[in-house]
Amino acid sequence: MPRYFFDVHNGGRYRDDIGTELSDLMKVRKEAMQLLPNLARDDVPEDGDHRIFTVLVTDEDGRATYSGTLSYTGLWLLR
């Protein structure tokens, strides 16, 4: 079964050195889609109101296979 690596970019870069075995590309997409909200939930910035979370998926040969991005923006409405 092919192994895919889910590198995270969210103000820093975190390389996935272990990877995940997945049987097809639709499962790669689903895994990335589930990872993004979990990242955002655990890493909403305390020092600002904007953060972009990106997952770049590569295959065993290092080829980019899928990329997903989720953006968080907060805005104070009090005057």
The reported pLDDT for the residue numbered 29 is: 97
The reported pLDDT for the residue numbered 62 is: 95
Question: Where exactly are the structural domains of the chain?
Answer: 3-73
- Non-local CB neighbours of 29 within 8 Å, separated by 6+ positions: 66, 68
In the three-class reduction of DSSP (H, G, I as helix; E, B as strand; rest coil), residue 31 is classed as helix
Distance of CA 14 to the CA centre of its chain: 10
The reported pLDDT for the residue numbered 63 is: 97
The reported pLDDT for the residue numbered 50 is: 85
Q: Mean pLDDT by 10-residue block, N- to C-terminus, for the chain (79 residues)?
A: 94 91 96 92 75 95 96 85
The reported pLDDT for the residue numbered 51 is: 87
The reported pLDDT for the residue numbered 79 is: 78
